[in-house]
Structures are given as C-alpha cells and as structure tokens.
C-alpha cells in the first residue's frame, strides 16, 4: 500500500523536512500495487530530497489514490516551481533546473531520472508539472488485481 510506505518514509525524514521549514500535509488513500518496497521507498526519498533542496519553506502535499487499474502517488509543493518549458527535461539524467543553485545544494541531477526509471521498471511512469507556482511530481503504477 503506497499510503503505508508514505507514512513510513515521511516519519523517518520528518525532522529534515521541518528543518527545511517544510510543512507536510498527507492526503493518503489506499493504493495497493505489486512493487519492490525498497525501490518505492527510494522513489519517495528522492522526491522528498528534491523538495528539501529546491522548495524549502514550502507546503508539501503528498497524496495516494487508487483507480480501477492504477495507483498513484503525487507530491506537490508550493515552492518556486520549474522554469517555464523545462518540465520535459526534469527526468533527464544530470539535468538541473538551475545550475548555480544545484551546485551549491550538491545535487547530482540523477534523482528524478531514477524516480522515473523505477516507476517504468514497475510498469508505470512518472510525470512532473508546474502546479500553482510550485512543482507536482506524480508516480503511477499498475494496481494490484
């Protein structure tokens, strides 16, 4: 259940999020899938690490839901968002939205490409969008049948 994984991961990084001034809100619905638990947690850690690096002092909403054939996890922040038109590049390996800031924060530019690769390896995908001034990352996977 993606909701249970979100609870476990956010509990372990709660102090890091608070230290970055992030207010975390959970809107978790049951979302059952067949997936490698360690890889799903890796996805969550990578997404939350991006939030800490690029959207400090923001409000973050994590949602999980299930439709008939898919489950999804969405993480939306109220940070500065991606530069307009760069959404398609966000999953490119080594790409960073803002080079000067990324070098200071120490990011490798691999986080979201790994997120997408894990989602695809599980028969799903990942998308990113600018959402009300912030960034929204959605990972969807096939629902358990």
- The domain that holds 10 is classified in CATH as 3.30.565.10
Give the mean model confidence (pLDDT) for residues 121-130: 92
pLDDT tens-place string over residues 24-81: 999 999 999 999 999 999 999 999 998 898 899 999 999 999 999 999 999 999 988 7
* Full-model pTM: 0.83
Does the pLDDT of residue 106 top 80, yes or no?
no
| Residue 20 resides in a domain | yes
**In the prediction, which pLDDT does 123 show?**
96
Number of domains in the chain: 1
Percent of the chain residues past pLDDT 90, beyond the cut: 62
Alpha-carbon dihedral angle through residues 115, 113, 119, 22, given to the nearest 10 degrees: 30
User: 91: pLDDT confidence band, cut at 50, 70 and 90?
Assistant: low
**In the prediction, which pLDDT does 103 show?**
43
**In the prediction, which pLDDT does 84 show?**
72
| Residue 116 resides in a domain | yes
What distance in Å separates the CA atoms of residue 57 and residue 40, rounded to the nearest whole number?
Answer: 25
**Exposed/middle/buried for residue 19 (C-beta within 10 Å: 0-12, 13-18, 19+):** exposed
| Residue 66 resides in a domain | yes
* Domain range for 91: 2-96+107-142
Give the mean model confidence (pLDDT) for residues 93-120: 64
| Residue 102 resides in a domain | no
| Residue 89 resides in a domain | yes
| Residue 55 resides in a domain | yes
| Residue 101 resides in a domain | no
């Amino acid at each position: 259940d993606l909701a249970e994984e979100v609870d476990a991961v956010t509990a372990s990084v709660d102090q890091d999020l608070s230290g970055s001034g992030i207010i975390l809100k959970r809107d978790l619905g049951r979302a059952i899938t067949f997936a490698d638990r360690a890889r799903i947690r890796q996805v969550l850690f990578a997404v939350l690490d991006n939030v800490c690096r690029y959207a400090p002092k923001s409000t973050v909403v994590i949602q999980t839901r299930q439709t008939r054939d898919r489950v999804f996890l969405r993480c939306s922040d109220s940070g500065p968002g991606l530069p307009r038109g760069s959404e398609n590049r966000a999953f490119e390996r080594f790409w960073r939205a803002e080079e000067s800031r990324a070098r200071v924060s120490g990011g490798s530019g691999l986080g979201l490409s790994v997120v997408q690769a894990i989602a695809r390896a599980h028969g799903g995908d990942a998308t990113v969008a600018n959402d009300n001034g912030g960034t929204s990352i959605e990972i969807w996977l096939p629902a358990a049948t």
